[in-house]
Chains A and B, each alone.
Chain A
Amino acid sequence: MSEHVTLPEGNVEKHTTTINLGPTHPATHGVFQNIIELDGETVVSAEQTVGYIHRAFEKIAEHRAPYQITPLTDRLNYCSAPLNNFGWHITCERLLGIKTPKRVDYLRIIIMELSRISDHLICNSIVGVDSGAFSGFLYLMQYRELIYEIYEEICGSRLTTNMGRIGGFERNFTNQAFEKLERFMKEWPPALKEFDEMFVRNRIFMDRTIGVGPISAERALNYGFTGPNLRAAGVDYDVRIHTPYSSYEDFDFTIPVGSTGDCYDRFLVRDQEMWQSMEIIKQAYQKVQEFKGAEAEVYHADVPDFYLPDKKDVYTKMEALIYHFKIIMGETALPVGEIYSSIEGANGELGFYLITDGGRAPYRLHFRRPCFIYYQAYSELTKGGLLSDAIITMSSLNLIAGELDA
Chain B
Amino acid sequence: MEKFGEQLTGWEEPYGMLTFTSDKNMNLKVLQFLYDDAELGFRFMTDLCAVHYPNEEGKELAVVYHLHNLKENVRIRYKIFTAIEKPDVYTASALFSAANWMERETYDFFGVNFLGHPNLKRILNIDEMDYFPLRKEYPLEDQKRTDKDDEMFGRD
Residues of A within 8 A of B (CB): 50-51, 54, 56, 58-60, 62-63, 94-95, 219, 221-224, 235, 237, 242-243, 337-340, 342, 349, 351, 353, 355, 363-364, 366, 368, 372-373, 375-377, 405-406
Contacts and interface: CB of A to CB of B under 8 A. Distances in A.
Interface string B55-72: 000000000101000100
Contacts, number: 87
By CB atoms of chain A within 10 A, which of B17, B101, B109, B133 has the most?
Answer: B101
Interface in B106-156: 109, 122-126, 133-134, 140
B76 to A, nearest CB: 10
A230 to B, nearest CB: 10
A368 B46 contact: yes
A156 B122 CA distance: 39
B133 A56 contact: yes
17 contacts: A50-B123, A51-B122, A54-B125, A56-B140, A59-B133, A59-B134, A337-B14, A338-B14, A339-B17, A349-B46, A351-B46, A351-B66, A355-B51, A366-B49, A368-B66, A373-B101, A375-B101
A224 B123 contact: no
A405 B124 contact: yes
Q: Interface on chain A toward B: helix, strand, loop, or mixed SS?
A: mixed
A339 B17 CA distance: 8
Given A95-B15, A340-B77, A58 B134 contact: yes
B124 A222 contact: no
Interface stretch (B1-9, B20-28, B83-91, B92-100): B92-100
B124 A373 contact: no
Given A56-B133, A95-B15, A340-B77, A366 B125 contact: no
Contact of A364 (B19, B51, B122): B51
A224 B64 contact: no
A258 B101 CA distance: 26
Contact of A372 (B51, B101, B125): B101
Chain B interface, DSSP helix/strand/loop, else mixed: mixed
A221 B66 CA distance: 14
Contacts of B109: 58
Contacts of A94: 15
Interface of B: 14-15, 17, 19, 43-47, 49, 51-52, 64, 66, 70, 73, 75, 77, 96-98, 100-102, 105, 109, 122-126, 133-134, 140
Given A340-B75, A377-B97, A405-B124, A224 B46 contact: yes
A340 B47 contact: yes
B51 A222 contact: no
Contacts of B64: 353
* Interface-centre pick from A60, A221, A235, A406 (highest chain B CB count, 10 A): A221
Contact of B98 (A63, A222, A337, A355): A222
Contacts of B101: 372-373, 375-376
B98 A373 contact: yes
Nearest to A373: B98
A406 B17 CA distance: 26
A60 B15 contact: no
B45 A224 contact: yes
Contact of B14 (A56, A339, A342): A339
A338 B64 CA distance: 12
A224 B98 contact: yes
